[in-house]
Amino acid sequence: MKRERIYLCLAHLSGKEQKFISEALNTNWVVPIGPNVDAFEADLEAFVGDGRKVVALASGTAALHLALVASGVGEGDEVLAQTFSFCASSNPIKYVGARPVFIDSEKETWNISSELLEEAIRERERKTGRRPKAAVIVDIYGMPAKMKEIVEICDRYGVIMIEDAANAMGSRYEGRMCGTFGRYGVLSFNGNKMITTSGGGALICRDEEAKREIMFYATQAREAYPYYQHEKIGYNYRMSNICAGIGRGQMTVAEEHIEHHKKVCRLYRELLEEVEGIKLHENPDERYDSNYWLSTITMEEGVRVKGEERAYGEKVEGAVGGAAGVVHEGGGLHTECEPNRNVEAMRMALDEAGIESRPLWKPMHRQPVYAKMPSYVNGVSEELFRKGLCLPSGPYVREEDVRYIVENIKANIIR
């Protein structure tokens, strides 16, 4: 019998979404307001805690964009950004006309280096006469960043901190929920995240006043007149009542999903423990409580993998990693910065076995679109990109799937 393909992370519905969607359809609440939106935001506020308020939006990218807008970031400003992340963590900086300044990672959490963060703040002030306006701090793959040091630095230099917790719903640092450490926190409900609303995201705000301001910008920035009066640029970013209904159903299984991802990571640890040259990324110490949105490994260059001679031998059709939408045809077989041949050979071998995997994020400072932006690097993110691989981790990944995945990893290592 042919085995079903194992995907990295697929949405898993609770069975309760239909009720809320049907109510929305039956009452004709299909616009970006309504009972589901209000209830979903209340559920998220209870989940996040710390007295924070939440605005449900069309995407996590929209949430980050609005956080920058509400923080007053604009033309001529610089924003410190984590280079080891998806482009959605830095693209909104360009939306507002600001310039990203890329900061490399530290080795323990893979998140932004506090040492380089402080160095960049000081040097940008020396070079430009101004400190960066804000910093976008990412909790990559669900792993909390070193928040104690980062918050202290941002506060000391007056840099607005925005926490991109798109991967980290339910992750905690020193017992505190990720997404609550900055002025704003970003969540994502894309189809591959911890919970989904099909698309969608949310912005965590400090108080009700901040929430109202974000909602103002998210609904086209209309002034209080009996006609359409606009004094600021607004956006059509509010979440629909239909999508929020999906979110309400998903909130009933949020904790279950988080525990499942942790369980999957624990099983990978057990099964990969004796595999020389492969290391699973885990919590550095008791302060960190990652949701393990994706279980990730690094593979030393000395690990030989079957099929390395075929790595990068053919152009990739489409996008690796299940990316939606349209992609350009690649310009060649290689770029200047790419995963090692053994990593690509392992990805190809797993793919042939019906297992989806993908490389770790390519650093933003090595992306052609950002090649001219300032960067403060130590080589960590490039090393991770060359050596790393993401493994299936979602709610549909069963214990037998993890065992099958690890069996295939072991079978493709040349001893």
| pLDDT tens track for 243-269 | 999 999 999 999 999 999 999 999 999
Name the helix (H) or strand (E) containing 296: strand 295-299
CA–CA distance, 344 with 413 (Å, rounded to integer): 13
For β-strands 172-173 and 176-177, DSSP reports them as antiparallel
Tell whether the model's pLDDT for residue 209 goes beyond 60: yes
Tell whether the model's pLDDT for residue 120 goes beyond 80: yes
pLDDT tier, 3 (very low <50, low <70, confident <90, very high otherwise): confident
Tell whether the model's pLDDT for residue 332 goes beyond 80: no
The pLDDT assigned to 69 comes to: 98
- Supply the mean pLDDT for the chain: 95
Residues 6+ apart with CB under 8 A from 96: 65, 68, 69, 73, 74, 75, 77
The pLDDT assigned to 313 comes to: 86
Selection from 2, 5, 12 nearest residue 396 by Cα: 12
Q: Give the pair of three-digit tokens for residue 291.
A: 């949701």
Q: Give the pair of three-digit tokens for residue 298.
A: 């690094």
CA–CA distances in Å: residue 45 to residues 51, 172, 186, 261, 262: 8, 15, 13, 22, 23
Instruction: Write down all domains in the chain, each with its CATH number in brackets.
Output: 17-253 (3.40.640.10), 255-411 (3.90.1150.10)
pLDDT tier, 331 (very low <50, low <70, confident <90, very high otherwise): low
Tell whether the model's pLDDT for residue 330 goes beyond 90: no
The pLDDT assigned to 415 comes to: 87
Residue 268, CB-side half-sphere exposure with 13 Å CA sphere? 25
The pLDDT assigned to 318 comes to: 65
pTM score: 0.95
Tell whether the model's pLDDT for residue 382 goes beyond 80: yes
- DSSP for 10-45, written as a single string: -----S-HHHHHHHHHHTT--SS-SHHHHHHHHHHH
Tell whether the model's pLDDT for residue 61 goes beyond 80: yes
Over residues 13-60, the pLDDT tens digits come to 999 999 999 998 888 877 788 899 999 999 999 999 999 999 999 999
Percent above pLDDT 90 for the chain: 89
Name the helix (H) or strand (E) containing 47: helix 35-48
Q: Hey, is 261 helix, strand or coil?
A: helix
Q: Where is pLDDT greater, at 125 or 324?
A: 125
Beta strands in 330-413 (DSSP E): 358-359, 375-376, 388-391
The pLDDT assigned to 249 comes to: 97
Residue 114, CB-side half-sphere exposure with 13 Å CA sphere? 15
Q: Give the pair of three-digit tokens for residue 219.
A: 């609904």
CA–CA distances in Å: residue 105 to residues 65, 110, 329, 343, 415: 23, 5, 30, 21, 32
Tell whether the model's pLDDT for residue 399 goes beyond 80: yes
The pLDDT assigned to 323 comes to: 52
Q: Where is pLDDT greater, at 33 or 297?
A: 297
Cβ burial, residue 157 (10 Å; 0-12/13-18/19+) = middle
The pLDDT assigned to 1 comes to: 57
pLDDT tier, 316 (very low <50, low <70, confident <90, very high otherwise): confident
The pLDDT assigned to 314 comes to: 81
